[in-house]
Every structure is written in C-alpha cells, then in structure tokens.
Amino acid sequence: MSNRGKKGKSRSKEFELNSSDSETDKYDTILVGNILKKLTIQEQAFITQKYKKVPKSLIALWKKIYSRLELGKMQWQLRGENLHCFLKLMRVHFQSVQFRCEQLQEELNILEKAGIEELPKVSSCVIYRGNNVEWEKNANFQQWPFHALPKLLINLRDLEIFSPIYACFIDQFKKLETLKIHEGISKSAVKAIMESDLPLQTLHFYSKRLHILRGISNRTRLENLMLNVNTFQKSREEIVQLPNLLDIQIYDTTDPEETLQALIFMVDRSNIIMKRFRLNCGFMFHSEGLKQLNLKKCSALHELHLVNCQFDYEDMAKLNLPVSQSYAAFFNCPDLTDIQLLDFYKSCPNLKQFILGSCPQLTGELLHNIFKVRCDENYKQAFTFMIDDCPILLNSYQENEKYWERKTSVLKVEFLRADVAPAHYVHFYFHKYNPES
Amino acid sequence: MSKPNSGRPLVRKVKFLLDKDKEAADELKQKTRAEKARAEKLRNEEMLCAGGDADPRNIRNRRRPRRRHHHDDPTAEQQVVQQYEQQHAQLLDQDPDHQMLYNIFQKLEMAEQIALHRLARLLPDVCSAHWRSTCRKLDFRVLTEELPEPNQRNYLLGQMAEHYRYVYFVAHRLQENLNALESAGVKSLNSVQRVELLLLEGEETLPLERIQETPLTADTEAGGDAKPKGMAQWPLHALPKLMRNVKRMKAQCDVQVHFIEHFAQLELLILYGSISQTALTGIFERCQKLERLFLKFNDRNYNQNLSLKSIRKSTKLRDLSVPVALFNRQKEMLMELRQLHLLELTHCEKDVPLTIECMRFVLNQKADTIEQVQLDCKCFAKKHINWMQDVGLERCSRLRGLVLVNCIFGNREICQLTLPCVQKYIALIGCKDIKEYQVLDMVRRCSGLSELYLIDCPQLTWKMLQGLYRIRRGENISYPLTVVLGQCPTLRTDYQSMYSNYWCFKLAYLKIERIQGESRPIEDIQIFFYQNTPQDKNLKPALKKGSTQN
C-alpha cells in the first residue's frame, strides 16, 4: 500500500532494511508534521480525532472536484510519485477525461507509469488540440497513440475529437453513443465506423470536408446527425432510411444550388414526419427558393423558423409555406410586411405564437389586424407575440400599452427570452418514429 | 491478492436490439437487482460482528466483485454496487464531520493531500509530538476561543496533561477551568512548573470601600469570615493536588485560604492581591524552598495589620518585595534577616517621607553591605529633591552600582548631593535635566568607575565626552571608562563622526558603546545586599539582563 520507493535511492535491502525504513518513517513524520503546522489547534485536534475517516473523506472530496481527469492541469499541482499515487487512487472514480492531442503520447505514458490500464468509469472523453496556429503544417503528428484509447476507456460513451483522425480506432469503443469530430477523418476510419456495430446515437461532423458515409443506414440507432451539405448529398439516400433519426443539422451552405437541392430532397422524402424546421435562408437569393422547397407538404409540422429570409413582397400563399404549425418564427427578415404576415396567419389555422426578431417593417397595424381576425373566431387561448428588435412595432405597442393590456385574453405581447435564438444552419427535427402509427 | 468467490450471478446477460424490448429488459434488471441486493445483505450480515461499523466493510466487500467483472456490461451485480455507492456518497455528504474535513483539506495543496491519504494513520502520534513541542502553555484565557468544541478540547487536554509546563488560570473562573480539566479526565498536571492566577481586564480584586467598612482582625479564619464578594476561594484548594511540582506562582487575585503552603516545591511567589494573615504565615512555615517573595499589593488598602512575623522560618528567602508601609512596621525584624539579597520597597509614592525614613533605617543598619541600589526617583520629584542627603546615601562604602531613573538634579553640585563613591557602574536613565558638569563631577567623585550608562539624557553633548576623557587621562587607570548610550542620538553621531580621527586613539581611556536590547523599566526601589558568599565580580546592572521580577 505505501510507496516506499519514493526517493529513488537504490536500497540494498539485505543490509539497509532497518535504516531505510526508519528514514522513510522519519520523512513521513516530517511530512505529516508540516501538514499539521498549517492548521489551527482546533483543526489539529479534530483531524487527529477523526483520522480514520480521513482517507475516505479525501477520496470523496477528490471525486467531487476531480471527476474529470485533465492531465495537463493536474501536472501543475502534482508531479512524479504523487501524481501516480493520485491516479491510482482515483482510477475508478474519474468520470470523464480530457486529453491534449499533441501531448497524447506523454499523457498515456504517465497513465502507464502509474500502472493504470483502464479507466472504467470514464464515460466521456474530449481530445483537444493546442493553440498551435500552424496546424496544417504539423498534420503528420502521431496517430498511433489513439490505438491505445479503446483499451483504456472501455466504457466510453461520448467522444469528441478536435484533431484530424487517420487511424481506425473509434470502432473499437464498444459502447460509443456520441461521436463529434471537429476536423477531418480518413475514409478508412469512417468506413470502419460505419461497418462496426457501435451503438451510435449522435454523430456530428463539424468540418467542411467531404466525408463518404457509405453504410450509414446500418447505424440504426442514430438519432442526431450533423453534417455539411456535400456530405449530405453524397449519402442522402441512406440517410433518409435511418429509422430513428430525430434531428439533422446541415451547415456550410455556401453553394446555393447544392443546398437547395439537398433541402428539396429532404423535404420531399420526410415531409410527413417533420416536426420542426429551422432554416437560415442566407444562401437563397430570393424567395424563389422557398417556392421550390414546397414546404406545404409538411403536414405535421409544429414549428417553422425562418432566418435571413427575403420575401420580395410576394403573396405568401405563393411561397408554399406550411400551414400546420403552431409556432412560427421570423428572424432578420428585412422585407417582411404586415400584410404578408396577416395572410400567413390566416392560412395557418393552428397558429398560436409568432416569434419576431429584427423585422423592421412590421408595425402596430399587424397587432390590430390580427386582433380583429382573432376576435371574430372563438379561440380559448390568447395569441402570443414574442418580439425583439422590431422598433416600429414595439413603439406602437408601448404607446398603446394600456389598451393592449386589456386585450390580453386575445392577444399577448412578450419580449423575447434569451434562450430562443435564431438558427445558424438548417435544422430538421422529426417526430419520433412510432411503429404502430 | 486472492480473488474472492462472490457467488454466481443470478441472471445471465441478454442483449436487446429493438427498442420496445427495452422496457422488459429494464424490469428484469430491476428484479435481479433487488434479488442481488437481498443476497448481498444476507451475506454481509453474517460477516458483521457486534458493534462494528458496518458501512466500510460492506463497501469493501462489494468492491471486490466489481473489479473482476469489469469487462462485461454492467451486470445486475454491478448495478447493486453502484446503488450502494450512491447511497454511501449521499450519507457522506450529510455527515458534518466530512464537511469539516473538507474545509481542512481545502487548506492543503494536492501533494499534501496525497501524503495525508497515505499517512493518515500517523496523525495521532505526530500531532501529540507537535503539541508537546509547541503547546507547553495551558492558557485558560484563550482556551475556549481556540477550542470551542468540548470534544476536541478534552482530547487536547487529555493528550497534553502530562506535558504542560505553564498554566494560566482565570481567577474568577477558576471553577470553570477546573471543570474543564475534570471533564477531560485530567487528574494531575505534573510537569507544570509555573502557574498564574490572572485577572482579566476590567476585573478588580476587592473594591476599596468594602475593605474599610468591614472590621478585620488579624487572624481571620480562612473562608469563614464575612468577606465581601470577591473571588470564590474554595476551588483554590484543588490546585496543589493538581500541580505538585509548581515552582513559581503568581496570583492576581485575593488569597484567603491556605493552599499556597501546600506547594512544596515553591520557589517564587508573586502576590498582587491581598492575602490573609494565616495564609501568609502558613507559607513561611511550610514552603521551605521559597526563595523569592514579592508582595505587590498596596498595603494601605489591604489588611493593615498584616504581619510578617514568621518570616524567619523561611530559611531560604533571599529576595523580598514589600510595600513601604509594611516594611515600616516590620523593619527591625526584616533587617535581622541575614540571607536577604534583594529588598524592594514598593508604593513609595504613597508616602514619600516614610520611604525616606525607611531607607535611612536600612542604611543605618546595613550601609556597608549594600552592593547595588536602583531607584525610580519620580516620587522624590518636587518636595524631596534632597532625598539623597536625607537618606544618607554616601554611607554606602562598598557600593558597586547605582541606577537612578527619572532623577531630578536641579542645578546643584554633585558634592552637595552627597553622592556615594560608586565602584563599578552608574546608570542614569531618563534624567532629563542632568548637565555635563554634573556627570563629570560624578565621574570625578567615583574614581575607578568602570561603566557609565546614559539613557535618554537629552542635555548632554559631546563636550561631556571630552571632559570624561580628560578626567580619566588624569586618573591613570588601567581600564577605560565604557560609556553605554541609549536614546542619545546626537552624542552617538558626534562620537562616530570624530571616531576615526580622534576617538579611536583614546580607546584606552574612553569607550563608547550602544545599549543592547530592550531593558525592563525600573520601578520602585531595589536594594541589593552582598551575600555572605564571595562577591560576584561580574555583577552587571539590571539593564542588560532581566530585572528582579521574573
């Protein structure tokens, strides 16, 4: 239990057994004495009375503070034998681990020297990269340390990697559910992942590279997907076959044509199961794109969220917008007018709430009109506006605040909460697959 | 380490692929978990022995199966373990001891925490050793602040009882203090050598008016008389049994009961409060090792009939400090004490003529055995400037040292003042109006003077140094006159500026030094007598080392 070989002196045990023991004893005594000197008398008396509880208590404290292993930071506080001791004691308590990819080899060395072969409770791992600006030039840094990770982190569920991957090691994690890759990954590695039987639920690719995701339809547990347009286009047939897919985000919408094609395909194939649709229309030059999307087909849509959209003073009906949703959000739509919104409102029978952010052309007329229409029909719930940064509209509301306060049973105006933010990418949410329906 | 056989798992693991079977799988897992829990409990109850702490053992046992099966998916067994670990963790969080331990750990660095984990078993021994070297003093004034928890206090007292050297009690709370010791199970404090019974700030001994109201007889019975509200006396009886080896004692409170006489090893006793006659007599008779007795109370207020009649029985008594009034009453008897080394007269300012008379009496009897005289002349200030003549100080023929503090010389000649001829050193402290010619006269009068201490005498200048040099050169003595300066910066800078040119050649006659360290201020009047033993040639004045009150 005690690490006797701490000072690194070579002891010939036959001759010096007694003296070396008493030396370490003396050293230990001095160590404890120094610790006691830091405490007040009350603390000294207390800790001495409860000395039996001290080890457990220490471990409990470390579990709280250091449930994440970050060797980089740990090395500032502990060195050498102490670090090994700490790692051994906490081996079964670490719940997540953070590596730095440039120092991965050193960090694995430390773990090995400490005699640690596994970290059984670690469920999440992040491999960071340093702030090295010349990242691309050093692209040939070692991949082979990665191979050691699956044996080390046997129960890993969540992996996030910030460095490019060439080695095929991810498929060795038997329990991996979440995989987030920030840089590139080689084809063979992707192939291995797709062909393995990892219970993947979340798969995010953050870079702009093209990844060939052949065989992704085998990943039947996949629920959450994030990829760029090119990757999507290459594997879109397989993607729509995924039975449990709930959430797909598509970004890097630089090529408008491609993007539009991808979106049209997606809407086409999955219109009935779409639950929420968030679209950043920045890539579209005009509202023609919206027409082509033909979102009308989405009959089960709950929420529509359009950002950076141009409406070109078109008739809303012609834009093929969906009609089934309860929530509609418009952010940063510079030419959205009262009339268009009113038309839109009239065409959507289930609508409960408008979320409007940075739509400068909207005025108080909108409120009055919608109020009139609403009053004619009998609705139980009030219609809610959540507004941010629509100056004319807000001014008008605030001038007539007293008036509107009396009408809150029909129409309510609130200020936008911070947690509702405009979408950055294209985000599809689907209804949960219910095999009985 | 041999792998223990924890028994076969009760359920086989089955893999489930489809979602809808997941619920069924969960149910099954729960069932097995419950069964497993029951089985574990039974097994552990068998292993429990009476009165043991069950929890750690349970966790230890359960950890073992975990290590073996870590390759598999979380089996029912493992889940049981996890459940218990969670419960244990919750219990741990709620335990206040652990909270306190956490607070302590926050003070330590990581490396120290690791060391503590490894070496926690050494804590009791190291702590005792640490206390033995640092906490030699038991001070009841601060004990409750430092250790508010009685548990910890008792632990400390129990550990350190045999090692305390000094104890400071709070006089008015003596009962509580003794209670604290008793509840800690402390029966004796055998190593205690010094004990003090202290009053806290703002506490008085007996109020003055009260004393004058109640008529007192010389032999009031201890504890039984109608003394007004003072300190409870009866706890004092417990002290001698508690601390058998006390050598020095100081009491600021009143003493009426006979307890001090039971300290058989007592060598030094200082009393700031009053003492009853019988107690004092008892001390003289019983404390045979008593060497130094300081009665520092104001005799005017207390017990005007106190008598030192048994003082002769105290054969080893060398140092005695009494108020002037008390001395006056007993002066014949006190002067007959052959072994007296130090006589101190206190509260002189209350009756200055009496003081002068007493001093004259002393000199009448023992002028030629006086070795050193130290005086705070503040009390002689206005009306008794001629005290030296009144006292007849010049009769001290073998005086080796003279220390005058706050002395006012006026503009008189030294020969008028009848300064005695001092053999070794003269110290003038705080004599604000002494002038150079007076100092020179002094030195001229005391030929063969070895040291001259001048502290805080602002009127002296470098001309005095010149004069001193000339006097000494004329005297032709083998050793120089050492002038020790304190708080005379101008003199010192003058000397130093001329040192390399001039004074370094005169070192045979005149040497200037600086006083080292702080010296205790001199109060009252102290007269040192020669012992019958040969003189101590290295007598140094009370300036450099501590003075009489230790």
Tens of pLDDT, residues A254-283? 788 888 888 888 888 888 888 888 888 888
Q: How far apart are CA A163 and CA A182, in angstroms?
A: 7
Q: Is A105 on the interface with B (CB under 8 A)?
A: no
Q: Which residues of A touch B109 (CB under 8 A)?
A: 77
Check whether B43 has a pLDDT greater than 50. Answer: yes
In chain A, residues 377-416 whose CB comes closer than 8 Å to chain B: none
> Distance of CA B182 to CAs B145, B176, B186, Å?
19, 10, 5
Burial (CB count <10 Å: 0-12, 13-18, 19+), residue B40? buried
Amino acid at A137: K
Check whether B3 has a pLDDT greater than 60. Answer: no
Q: For A395-409, B157-171, B202-216, B228-242, which range has the lowest pLDDT when averaged over its residues?
A: B202-216
Average pLDDT across chain B, whole number: 78
Contact assessment for residue A165 and residue A159, using Cβ atoms and an 8 Å cutoff: no
What three-state secondary structure class fits A409? coil
Q: How far apart are CA B456 and CA B249, in angstroms?
A: 34
Q: How far apart are CA B360 and CA B390, in angstroms?
A: 7
Measuring CA to CA, which residue among A182, A149, A152 is closest to residue A168?
A149
Contact assessment for residue B341 and residue B319, using Cβ atoms and an 8 Å cutoff: yes
The structure tokens 């009252």 sit at B524
Strands of B1-145 (E only): list them.
137-139
Share of chain B above pLDDT 70, in %: 75
Check whether A188 has a pLDDT greater than 70. Answer: yes
Task: Name which of B98, B107, B155 is nearest A57 (Cβ-Cβ).
Answer: B98
Q: How far apart are CA B362 and CA B331, in angstroms?
A: 8
Check whether B2 has a pLDDT greater than 50. Answer: no
Query: Which pLDDT tens digit goes with each residue over A280-305?
Result: 888 887 778 888 888 888 888 888 88
| pLDDT (0 to 100) of residue B230 | 64
Q: For A19-23, A389-393, B83-87, which range has the lowest pLDDT when averaged over its residues?
A: A19-23
| pLDDT (0 to 100) of residue B292 | 92
pLDDT confidence band for B10 (50 / 70 / 90): very low
Cβ of B108 within 8 Å of Cβ of A47? The answer is no
For testing contact with chain B, the best of A49, A70, A172 (most B CBs within 10 A): A49
pLDDT confidence band for A124 (50 / 70 / 90): very high
Q: How far apart are CA A243 and CA B469, in angstroms?
A: 115
Q: How far apart are CA B326 and CA B348, in angstroms?
A: 11
pLDDT confidence band for A6 (50 / 70 / 90): very low
Q: Is A29 on the interface with B (CB under 8 A)?
A: yes
Measuring CA to CA, which residue among B6, B122, B120, B116 is closest to residue B60?
B6
Q: For B81-85, B329-333, B442-446, B455-459, which range has the lowest pLDDT when averaged over its residues?
A: B81-85
What residues contact B390, with CB distance under 8 A and at least 6 apart?
A: B356, B360, B384
The token pair at B257 is 């009961």
| pLDDT (0 to 100) of residue B208 | 34
Average pLDDT over every residue of B144-157: 86
Q: How far apart are CA B536 and CA B19, in angstroms?
A: 105
Per DSSP, what are the bridge partners of residue A226?
A: A204, A249
Q: How far apart are CA B115 and CA B14, in angstroms?
A: 45
Average pLDDT over every residue of B475-489: 86
In chain B, residues 88-117 whose CB comes closer than 8 Å to chain A: 89, 92-93, 97-98, 100-102, 104-105, 107-117
| pLDDT (0 to 100) of residue A137 | 52
Average pLDDT over every residue of A329-339: 88
Contact assessment for residue B313 and residue B489, using Cβ atoms and an 8 Å cutoff: no
pLDDT confidence band for B248 (50 / 70 / 90): very high
The token pair at B251 is 């009491």
Amino acid at B453: Y
Average pLDDT over every residue of B62-70: 46
B477 or A436, which is more confident: B477
Amino acid at A164: P
| pLDDT (0 to 100) of residue A407 | 83
In the DSSP assignment, the letter for residue B451 is E
Q: Is B146 on the interface with A (CB under 8 A)?
A: yes
Q: How far apart are CA B342 and CA B352, in angstroms?
A: 21
Q: How far apart are CA A167 and CA A146, in angstroms?
A: 7
* Helix residue ranges, H only, B367-481: 387-391, 414-417, 436-445, 462-475
Query: Which pLDDT tens digit goes with each residue over B170-215?
Result: 888 888 899 988 888 888 888 888 999 888 777 665 443 333 333 4
Handedness of CA B198, B199, B204, B205 (dihedral sign): negative
Check whether B14 has a pLDDT greater than 50. Answer: no
Handedness of CA A59, A60, A65, A67 (dihedral sign): positive
| pLDDT (0 to 100) of residue A126 | 92
| pLDDT (0 to 100) of residue B173 | 86
Share of chain A above pLDDT 90, in %: 8
Contact assessment for residue B457 and residue B428, using Cβ atoms and an 8 Å cutoff: yes
Average pLDDT over every residue of A385-391: 87
Average pLDDT over every residue of A372-398: 85
What three-state secondary structure class fits A227? strand
In chain B, residues 302-341 whose CB comes closer than 8 Å to chain A: none
Check whether A61 has a pLDDT greater than 60. Answer: yes
Check whether B16 has a pLDDT greater than 50. Answer: no
Burial (CB count <10 Å: 0-12, 13-18, 19+), residue B516? exposed
| pLDDT (0 to 100) of residue B435 | 85
The token pair at A9 is 């002196």
**A231-A237-A239 Cα angle (round to 5):** 65
Amino acid at A140: N
Q: For A361-370, A400-409, B10-19, B241-250, which range has the lowest pLDDT when averaged over its residues?
A: B10-19
What residues contact A237, with CB distance under 8 A and at least 6 apart?
A: none
Average pLDDT over every residue of B521-547: 64
Distance of CA B252 to the CA centre of its chain: 14
The interface predicted TM-score (ipTM) is: 0.73
Average pLDDT across chain A, whole number: 84
pLDDT confidence band for B34 (50 / 70 / 90): low
pTM for this prediction: 0.67
Q: How far apart are CA A214 and CA A201, in angstroms?
A: 17
Q: Which residues of A touch B70 (CB under 8 A)?
A: 118, 120, 154
Cβ of A58 within 8 Å of Cβ of B113? The answer is yes
Query: Which pLDDT tens digit goes with each residue over A131-177?
Result: 665 555 555 567 888 888 988 999 999 999 998 888 888 888 889 99
Query: Which pLDDT tens digit goes with each residue over B108-117?
Result: 888 899 999 9
Q: Is B145 on the interface with A (CB under 8 A)?
A: no
Check whether B37 has a pLDDT greater than 70. Answer: no
Check whether B52 has a pLDDT greater than 60. Answer: no
Q: Which residues of A touch B108 (CB under 8 A)?
A: 35, 38
Q: Which residues of B touch A89 (CB under 8 A)?
A: 114, 117
Q: Which residues of A touch B107 (CB under 8 A)?
A: 38-39
Q: How far apart are CA B479 and CA B495, in angstroms?
A: 19
| pLDDT (0 to 100) of residue B342 | 92
Check whether B463 has a pLDDT greater than 90. Answer: no
